[in-house]
Amino acid sequence: MTSPHLSGPQLLPEELKALVRTVPDFPHPGIQFRDITTLIGHPQGLAASVGHLALLAAAAGARKIAGMEARGFIFGAAVAVQLGLGFVPVRKPGKLPIVTIGIDYALEYGTDRLEMDPGAVGPGEKVVIVDDLIATGGTALAAAQLLREAGAEVSHALFVIDLPDLGGADRLRAAGVKVDALMAFEGE
């Protein structure tokens, strides 16, 4: 779907990558944390990131955009607005005031849960997942499974940042989800 608001991004992904701040040893020693607050605080950087993601979502045939709490809301909702599509929030437990469907998923240490409104998507509706970062892929994979359980077709997931050494994009691909990211940080 094209929108009159869809225009070409002004900054290239390489220029956007330079706007991501790296914070060493956070939250644990040896971790290189990729902080997007510097990217979203830069007006042209945020607009270009959303523009690139919107072009990819439009090419994927998105009918709705889904984003996971919390930073997926930033990029996903902006992409949905740019494309003139609805946005599906995939929430942490207990945040929706209705009966929800949910999925539990494994984290490095323990488990977590995602929930959504089961009526947020129609049967066979093409939903593209948008999030800020793909690391191990647990949250994105759980979101894809949850959206599919609700009846959506989920064949694409888009990210601002990929940490390919952590294998999340490969996990999504193995589950039949095509993955695109605007930038990658190797070795993390």
Least reliable range by pLDDT among 25-34, 78-87, 117-126: 25-34
Domain that holds residue 143: 60-184
Instruction: Single out the catalytic residue among 14, 15, 91, 108.
Output: 108
Q: What is the CATH number of the domain that holds 139?
A: 3.40.50.2020
Which whole-number Å values give the CA distances from 183 to 49, 76, 135, 139, in the listed order?
Answer: 10, 17, 13, 19
Structure token pair of residue 131: 């999030």
Count: domains in the chain? 1
pLDDT at 3: 43
Non-local (6+) Cβ contacts of 116 within 8 A are 88, 89, 90, 91, 96, 100, 101, 102, 146, 147, 150
Phi, psi of 157 (to 5 degrees): -135, 135
pLDDT confidence band for 179 (50 / 70 / 90): very high
Q: Is residue 27 part of a domain?
A: no
Of residues 114 and 3, the one with the higher pLDDT is 114
Q: Is residue 162 part of a domain?
A: yes
Of residues 4 and 91, the one with the higher pLDDT is 91
**Residue 70 in 3-state DSSP?**
coil
Q: Is residue 23 part of a domain?
A: no
Least reliable range by pLDDT among 103-107, 116-120, 148-152, 184-188: 184-188
Q: What is the rounded CA–CA span in Å between residue 59 and residue 32?
A: 32
pLDDT at 4: 39
pLDDT at 10: 87
Instruction: Single out the catalytic residue among 15, 71, 113, 148.
Output: 71
Angle CA 114–46–183, to nearest 5 = 75
pLDDT at 37: 97
* 186 labelled catalytic: no
Please tell me the pTM assigned to this model.
0.93
* 188 labelled catalytic: no
pLDDT confidence band for 2 (50 / 70 / 90): very low
Of residues 11 and 7, the one with the higher pLDDT is 11
Q: Is residue 128 part of a domain?
A: yes
